[in-house]
Chain A
Amino acid sequence: MTEGAIVSSYIPLFAILCPATASFLILLSSKRPNVRESWTIIAGILQFSLIASMIPTILNDEVIRCTFFPTMFKGIAFGFKVDAFGLIFALTASFLWILVSFYSVGYMRSLREHAQTRYYFCFAIAIFGAIGVALSANLLTMYIFFEILTVSTYPLVIHDQSKEAISAGHKYFAYLLTAGVFLLFAIMMTYYLTGTTDFTGGGIKALAELGPAYKLTLVILFFCFLLGFMKAAWMPFHSWLPTAMIAPTPVSALLHAVAVVKAGVFGIVRIVCYIYGVDLMTSLGLGLALACIAGFTMIVANLFAIAQDNLKRRLAYSTINQLSYIILGVALLSPKGIEGAMIHIPFHGFMKITLFLCAGAIMVVTGKKNISEMGGIGKKMPVTMLAFTITAFGMCGIPPACGFISKWFLCLGTLQAEEIIFLFVLLIASLLDVVYFFPIIHTAFFKRAEGGGEEETEVKEAPLFMLIPLSLTAIFSVLFFLDFILRLNIISMYFYKIVEVAVGNAIP
């Protein structure tokens, strides 16, 4: 395989220990809010620097490995392996954690939320899980972090503790833990069939060599994996995601736009490229099946989104749609498609988090949750709505936000795979994106507030703790775009290179 030399290092371990340690410190300093929040932020920054310090090694086409111990099962070792693809996800999640931590401080304090210690504690554990998923060396390790992620986000989803929130939490659990059961079965089956669960660039060889007698088994196994990654919210198993929007906005932002759902998509990419491998996927015809599911989800989710009036729910359906872009990119099994999918993971993260943070800011300042009530809000909160507008453009694939680039790659991918139908699906889905994002912008800037006169509305933005993070994510979304188009080689130079390395690993 084309995987480069292996370097041993404990950096991944230290990186993952940051949020774990932070969670305990948070519990210990529950009586002193300022100390408590600073632990979160210190851990976030430390973790990001540790993960970022691995970039040069990865760009060198090397793989960082950190094995703790061989498990009781021969052939499975518990440990981390950082390859380019894992690094992309880890970088995104850890960077956005810092910003969301700042935002959380502003949000939770403005709304005087209860149980803040529990909130920060579970948040740190959830990040621990997400980064663990990103850095895992094999399926079993990944499963462990996957479940930690599921369990730790439950208290966040039901944070409100109202009856409604708790039943939403139950739905969340019912979906995701059932998924966990399927995933566990699929993992053990893989282990039983091949004797290993390591992520291998180009797929596990033993799985590909099973022969035609196992064809049906492999197809069923793949669908078990897909069910296991219900976190990716593909239809018809998506309805937990809009329901979970009852969580506080920073939670929706990070967990339901970045950590949880991306862990699901990340898993699907891992299965397609690193367990099954592109060749096996093609010969089993699974790529096409997956692409059909993704295409279906993209269109239907967008139709659902149009019907939503609650801003967060509309964003949730938009997330379902965008996740399927990623799934589609992988399902095309063409290098450009996979590249588009891998790029879209962080790009969608940056853009969607901006949108959610804006929604949260609007809620904190005006208390409004529904789009129909948001007339004139563009004048009241110009910075927030500017950030919203830019990233909403990005979601539709319109410059100047980075969504354009990932869509460009995805379109190239459909052409490369010679699946013209999916090009149309992509374009129709983008069109539908416009249909539901533009009314929001229109309402915000061109409609008057209900009952409001002609008087000059006062500018009243969210606290700086909230405003700065959301501006930063918006700025980054634009930067990624400019960097690519103008070849500025600022930050994202690394970024595109990492993606190239990842694609090189995935398709030997």
Chain B
Amino acid sequence: MVRLFLAEHYPVLIIVVSLFSAFTILIAGWVNKKTCLPISLATISVQLLMAIFILRQVMSSGAVHYWLGGWAPPWGIEYVIDAFNAYVLVIVLFICLITAIYSKRSIEKEQPHKIVPFYVIFQLLVTGLCGITVTGDIFNLYVFLEIASLAAYALIAAAGGRALKASYNYVIMGSIGACFYLLGVGFLYAVTGSLNMADLSHLLPPLYGNKVVQAAFVFFVVGLSIKMALFPLHIWQPDAYTYAPSAVTVIIAAAMSKVSIYAFIRVFFSVFTTDFIRMYVPIAIVISWIAAVAIIVGSLIAIMQTNLKRMLAYSSVSQVGYIVLGVGLYSTQWGLHGALIHILNHAITKGCLFLAAGAIIYRSGLWNIRDFEGLGKKMPYTCAAFTLAALSMIGVPPSVGFVTKLCLLLASLEAVEYGFVAVILASTLLNLVYFWRVIDRMYFVRKEGEEETEHEIEKEEAPVSMLVPTLILGALCIIAGILWLAGAKTALLPIVDQAVNALLGTGVVAVP
């Protein structure tokens, strides 16, 4: 492999570059507003390249360890990147890049006076997300979680009006979640005296019977469930998604929720272990059922919505259920695979859907599904991307949603839980109901009183900088689906294989 400049420092550089870039944007934006986006774009591109490099390195030679300041763990903070982190990191940065490109026109229209603050906070959010992903220290994770959350609160509130209330709700709920997480960290520190994940996973096994450890676990689960909007702790999420600026919705829905789920899975399997879950806290079956209820209820509420973004938000509630169901079925061959695969799948699909929704609002100001008649002719490409993503949500083969469905079905069959089988299959039909309603409106339903006419409807397509990201994600819904199905012959599945092995193994990695 070619030696790249500072290659061994990439884990920390991903964070540092991003953090400094946020301040650079602030200063440069003061001088000239137009410099914000290029700086942000350049930073995220560099970060993405580094992430891809790390992913390749992890795939070829195992997990990467980076000791901050050269302090050896468990005293110093350690950044550990195995296949799972690297995978999530690449996804998150990719979505961030897409959002950054998309945000140019979107923010110019929605918040022309707040361009500089937007990009500063946006970059801080990216920093937080990357930090959560790379760190191997549970307290450090908390710090980054708060950086990301605070940035997200601010970004949502920036839209003003009803977004203020949405953001306030999110602040309250998010803070409770963060407190729970912090309590969990405190409990573990009180018992073990360590904050390093790998170290904890070695110190904890003798203490598994300890009530404090078990309470800490429950605090972690509840706290992170709030952060990732797992039903019934999702109440902050629909408002936040609906009223946030379009670009912000995309990054929160597609990237930030994934990172929270990452933290959840990481704590679940790398701090605690499968032994603990199996023997001391029989939580797998509980969260599986919660997830199953989330899948159904999320879809049912989505059916009742008339606001497109709100509908997508409730759809996210149901999709988080898919991932958690996969986690709950970790003991089967395909359960955790399904969860990890769906992290990518949901990021792509929901990203695409929110991008399309934002583009529609940008161009025509429409948010009510009932007003979508004829949109398929006005904005053909946006609607085509939306349709691809919607089909993927429904799980029409060979889209990404289909792959998830297959994995979870097999996992449920293997666990002999026919209830989950029924839930997954029913969810397909529910998804069909609320997504097809939109597609029908876009393409087929005629406006009341409008007669069959062949006259050309003027095209009002979204600007290129918004359209291209949408189309890329739309195409990926199908391409990634085929890549997953092709399995061993492509690069994707081995990453997930390795990630699952690492998670179900002995923890992040052995202490060096």
Tell me, in angstroms, the Cα distance from A173 to B396 when the chains sit together: 13
Q: For chain A, residues 147 to 197, give those with C-beta under 8 angstroms from any C-beta of chain B.
A: 147-148, 151, 155, 158, 161, 166, 169, 173, 177-178, 181-182, 184-185, 188-189, 191-192
CB distance from A192 to the nearest CB of B (A): 4
Given contacts A161-B444, A177-B432, contact A72 B425 (CB under 8 A): no
Q: A169, A182, A184, A185: which has the most chain B beta carbons within 10 Å?
A: A184
Nearest CB on A from B418, distance (A): 9
A70 to B397, CA, bound (A): 16
Query: Which of the residues A144, A147, A151, A166 comes within 8 Å of B444, measured between beta carbons?
Result: A166
Contact A181 B493, beta carbon cutoff 8 Å: no
Cβ 8 A contact of B406, one of A73, A151, A158, A177: A73
Asked if A151 contacts B414 (CB within 8 A), the reply is no
- Given A72-B484, A178-B429: A114 and B445 within 8 A (CB)? no
Chain B residues within 8 Å of A151, by CB: 391, 396
CA distance A72 to B391 in the complex (A): 21
CB-based contact B493/A188 at 8 Å: no
In the complex formed, the residue of A with least CB distance to B485 is: A71
Give me the 7 closest cross-chain CB pairs, A-B, nearest first.
A72-B487, A144-B397, A192-B413, A181-B425, A69-B486, A188-B409, A71-B485
Q: Does A476 contact B (CB under 8 A)?
A: no
> Is there contact, CB below 8 Å, between A184 and B486?
no
Chain A: how many interface residues by the 8 Å CB criterion?
29
A148 proximity list for chain B (CB < 8 A): 396-397
In the bound complex, how far is the Cα of B486 from the Cα of A70, in angstroms?
6
Q: Would you call A78 and B397 a contact (CB within 8 A)?
A: no
Asked if B56 is an interface residue, CB under 8 A from chain A, the answer is no
Question: Which of B483-500 touch A at CB < 8 Å?
Answer: 484-489, 493
B residues in contact with A144, CB < 8 Å: 397-398, 402
Contacts of A185 on B, CB cut-off 8 Å?
Answer: 409, 421, 425
Interface assignment of A123: CB less than 8 Å from any CB of chain B:
no
A163 to chain B, nearest CB (A): 8
* Beta-carbon contact of A71 and B486 below 8 Å: yes
User: Smallest Cβ distance from A51 to chain B, in angstroms?
Assistant: 23
Cross-chain contact B445 with A70 (CB below 8 angstroms)? no
Flag if A72 contacts B409 (CB, 8 Å): no
Indicate if A240 sits at the interface (CB-CB under 8 A): no
Docked pose: A70 CA to B490 CA in angstroms: 11
Would you give the 0/1 interface string for B392-410, flagging 1 where the beta carbon is closer than 8 Å to chain A? 0000111000110110011
| Complex-state Cα separation, A182 to B414, whole angstroms | 18
Question: Which of B414, B426, B452, B487 makes the CB contact (< 8 A) with A192?
Answer: B414
Q: Inside 8 A of B486's CB, which chain A residues have their CB?
A: 68-69, 71-72, 78
Q: A188–B440 Cα gap in the complex (Å)?
A: 30
Given known contacts A166-B440, A192-B413, A70 and B487 CB-to-CB distance under 8 angstroms: yes
A192-B410 in contact (CB<8A): yes
In the complex the two chains form, is B413's CB within 8 Å of A70's CB? no
Task: Beyond the given A184-B409, A188-B406, A188-B413, please list 13 additional residue pairs across the A-B interface where CB-CB is below 8 A.
Answer: A68-B486, A69-B489, A70-B489, A73-B487, A114-B454, A147-B396, A155-B443, A161-B444, A161-B445, A177-B428, A185-B425, A188-B409, A192-B413
B444 and A155 form a contact (CB under 8 A): yes
* B162: Cβ under 8 A from any A Cβ: no
Q: Please, which residues of chain B bring their CB within 8 A of the CB of A73?
A: 406, 410, 487
Known: A144-B397, A144-B398, A173-B436. A78 touches B485 (CB 8 A): yes
Q: Judging by beta carbons under 8 Å apart, are A72 and B396 in contact? A: no
Which residue of B is nearest A192, CB measured?
Answer: B413
Chain A residues lying within 8 Å of B446, measured Cβ to Cβ, are 161
Cα A78 to Cα B414 with chains together (Å): 22
11 A-B residue pairs with Cβ-Cβ distance under 8 Å, sorted by A, are A69-B487, A70-B488, A71-B485, A73-B406, A78-B486, A161-B445, A161-B446, A166-B444, A178-B429, A185-B425, A192-B414
A437 at the interface (CB under 8 A from B): no
B429 touches A181 (CB 8 A): yes
In the complex, what residues of A have CB within 8 A of residue B403's CB? Answer: 72
> In whole Å, how far is B362's beta carbon from the nearest beta carbon of chain A?
25
A143 within 8 Å of B (CB atoms): yes
Assembled-state Cα–Cα distance A185/B445 (Å): 32
Chain B facing A: main interface SS: helix
For A184, the chain B residues whose CB sits under 8 A away are 405-406, 409, 425
Which residues of chain A have C-beta atoms less than 8 A from B406's C-beta?
73, 184, 188
Q: Which of A72, A158, A191 is in CB contact (< 8 Å) with B488?
A: A72
Residues of A within 8 A of B436 (CB): 173
B496 nearest CB neighbor, chain A only: A72
A residues with a Cβ closer than 8 A to B are 68-73, 78, 114, 143-144, 147-148, 151, 155, 158, 161, 166, 169, 173, 177-178, 181-182, 184-185, 188-189, 191-192
Query: Is there contact, CB below 8 Å, between A71 and B425?
Result: no
Q: Which residues of B contact A155 (CB under 8 A)?
A: 443-444
What is the chain B residue whose CB lies nearest that of A78?
B485
CB within 8 A of B410: which of A169, A173, A191?
A191
From A70, A173, A181, A191, name the one whose CB has the most chain B CB atoms within 10 angstroms. A181
Considering only residues 429-457 of chain B, those with a C-beta below 8 Å from chain A are 429, 432, 436, 440, 443-446, 452, 454
A192 to B452, CA, bound (A): 50
With most chain B CB atoms within 10 A of its CB, the pick from A182, A185, A188, A191 is A188
Most chain-B Cβ atoms within 10 A of its Cβ — which of A69, A155, A166, A191?
A69
- For residue B477, give the distance in angstroms from its CB to the closest CB of chain A: 14
Closest to A144 in B: B397
Once bound together, how far apart are the Cα atoms of A182 and B413, in whole Å?
A: 14
Name which residue of chain A comes closest to B398, CB basis: A144
Which residues in A have their C-beta under 8 angstroms from that of B414?
192
A71 & B396 in contact (Cβ 8 Å cutoff): no
Known: A188-B406, A192-B410. A158 touches B444 (CB 8 A): yes
Measured between beta carbons, the chain A residues less than 8 angstroms from B432 are 173, 177
Check if A166 sits within 8 Å of B410, measured CB to CB: no
Whole-angstrom distance from the CB of A302 to the nearest CB of chain B? 32
Q: How far is the CA of A68 from the CA of B444 in the complex (A)?
A: 36
Whole-angstrom distance between the alpha carbons of A177 and B397 in the complex? 12
Pick from A147, A169, A182, A189: contact of B397, CB under 8 Å: A147
Determine the chain B residues whose CB is within 8 A of the CB of A68 once the complex forms.
486
Given contacts A144-B398, A148-B397, A188-B406, contact A181 B487 (CB under 8 A): no
A114 is contacted by which of B421, B425, B452 (Cβ under 8 Å)?
B452
B90 CB to nearest chain A CB (Å):
19
B445-A166 in contact (CB<8A): yes
Cβ contacts under 8 Å, A143 to chain B: 397
How far does the alpha carbon of A434 sit from the alpha carbon of B414 in the complex, in Å? 52
Q: Write the chain A residue with the least CB distance to B422.
A: A185
Q: Which residue of A lies closest to B416 (CB)?
A: A192
Chain B residues lying within 8 Å of A71, measured Cβ to Cβ, are 485-487
* Distance of A71 Cα from B396 Cα, bound (Å): 17
Give Cα A69–Cα B486 distance, bound, in whole angstroms: 6
Task: Collect the chain A residues with CB atoms within 8 Å of residue B429's CB.
Answer: 177-178, 181
Q: How far apart are the CA atoms of A304 and B432 in the complex, in Å? A: 31
Within the assembled complex, what's the spacing in Å between the Cα atoms of A108 and B414? Answer: 51
Chain B nearest CB, measured from A226 CB (Å): 16
The complex places the Cα of A478 from the Cα of B425 at a distance, in Å, of 46
Beta-carbon nearest neighbor of B454 in chain A: A114
Bound-state CA distance A55–B444 (Å) is 42
Residues of B within 8 Å of A161, CB to CB, are: 444-446, 452
Question: In the complex, what residue of chain B is closest to A180 when comparing beta carbons?
Answer: B428
Nearest A residue to B397 by beta-carbon distance?
A144
B222 CB to closest chain A CB (Å) equals 33
Chain A nearest CB: distance from B154 CB in Å? 41
Cα distance, A147 to B409, chains bound together (Å): 17
* A40 CB, min distance to chain B CBs, angstroms: 21
Which B residues lie within 8 Å of A70 (CB)? 487-489
Chain A residues with CB under 8 Å of B489's CB are: 69-70
Task: Encode contact with A along B473-512: 1 for CB under 8 Å, 0 otherwise.
Answer: 0000000000011111100010000000000000000000
Q: In whole Å, how far is B62's beta carbon from the nearest beta carbon of chain A? A: 23
**Closest Cβ–Cβ distance, residue A374 to chain B (whole Å):** 27
**B398 neighbours in A (Cβ, 8 Å):** 144
Q: Quick one: closest A residue to B489, CB to CB? A: A69
